[in-house]
Amino acid sequence: MNHKYINSETFEIMNNIIEVDEAIAETISILNKKGYYTKYCCSGHVKDPRLYELYKEKSLEDFKGDLGYIISNKNGEYDILIPYTYTHIYIKFKENINFNILPEGFKLNGKNLIEMKIDYYSNGKRKSSNDIDKELKIANKVLLNWALSLPKL
């Protein structure tokens, strides 16, 4: 299903728009205006500690986590629930770009994805949602400053 958006002030239908996380929107705008065309991105999110991700594994040998719960074994596959333990901030670019400098704390994954992982746990204890949110805000600010410092392509 395709979506249309309506401007809340003019009530005109808006076309050719993309939806982007608020915390990374300015960074994505700047990058694209400078010629660093993006494909998709995420500003990272604080997940509710009660949420779990579902993994399907062929055997328990493939399962290397120690926080998961086996919930079923059907047709030789195990369904395992694993609590979210981290979030990512990332930007996938449409093309490979040779960056001379990456934003502090970020890594290049492949040739067109930059990312930073932020753990929800420290010393075996879950960080508070406020602390995780602060880390995300700082990392997104670092990313914005990096985008501002890049030359136009």
**pTM of the entire predicted model:** 0.78
Instruction: Check: CB of residue 85 under 8 Å from CB of residue 119.
Output: yes
- Give the model's pLDDT for residue 11: 87
Q: Which of 119, 117, 132 is nearest to 67 (CA)?
A: 119
Tell me 45's DSSP state. Answer: -
Residues in the chain: 153
What SS3 class is residue 39?
A: strand
Max Cα distance, the chain (Å): 58
* pLDDT tens-digit map of 112-127: 999 999 999 999 898 9
pLDDT at 129 over 70: yes
pLDDT (tens digit, 9 = 90+) per residue, 60-109?
Answer: 665 555 556 666 677 777 777 777 889 999 999 999 998 999 999 999 99
